[in-house]
Amino acid sequence: MQLICIYNNGTVCKCQILDYDSGMSPQTIQSNQLLQKHGLKVTRPRQEILRFLSSNAGPVSVDVIFTKLKQKGIDRVTIYRVIKTFEKSNLIRKVDLGHNHAHYELHIGAEHHHIICTNCGRIEELYICIDSKTMQNALRQAKDFAKITKHSFEIFALCKKCAAQ
């Protein structure tokens, strides 16, 4: 058994006890909580996509998501709609890995950035913070911008293995 609380804008509005024997796995319960915490309706496609993103170590493309979830009856259009909804609710973030298409990852936990090998595509997460002073300096240099709403920082380099070749 587990106590599940449904949140609305950070305030608990309903709690209930759920029994794992009711057919809901801990992963399903966790997905449902995360969707509700972000003010999103719980649907099967949202649960499946969220579970898939949770199980991946790094950013993935819509093509990868589609390949893995099409056997569960989730079509590409639905994936794009869910991704757009997740991105608007700040549940996921778009990552540019230099592949001419977007990749997505969950936007929960510690803030991080990526370093990507330009030769083999290896990706490592970097747990560094771009300080507010650096961002404010960038904003001061920009002529037509007034406020930073979010940032993304990816580094493209050669990994040690590729550099040694």
Cα separation, 20 vs 7, in Å, equals 21
24 pLDDT higher than 70:
no
pLDDT one-digit tens code per residue, 49-89: 999 998 887 889 999 999 999 999 999 999 999 999 999 99
pLDDT for res 75: 96
pLDDT-derived band at 6, boundaries 50, 70, 90: very low
Cα dihedral 8, 10, 12, 18 in deg (nearest 10) = 80
Residue 4 has pLDDT above 60, yes or no: no
Is 20 a residue whose pLDDT tops 70?
A: no
Domain 26-108 class in CATH:
mainly alpha
Does residue 1 surpass a pLDDT of 60?
no
Name the most confidently modeled range: 9-23, 97-111, 116-130, 133-147.
133-147
- Fold (topology level) of 110-165: Dna Ligase; domain 1 (3.30.1490)
Number of other CB atoms surrounding residue 50 within 10 Å:
25
Mean pLDDT of 100-113: 80
Farthest CA pair distance, the chain: 59
Residue tagged 């079509």 (tokens): 75
Confidence band, pLDDT 50/70/90 cuts, at residue 109: low
pTM above 0.75, yes or no: no
What per-residue confidence (pLDDT) applies to 84?
96
Domain boundaries, the chain: 26-108, 110-165
Mean of the per-residue pLDDT values of the chain: 80
Q: How far apart are CA 103 and CA 61, in angstroms?
A: 4
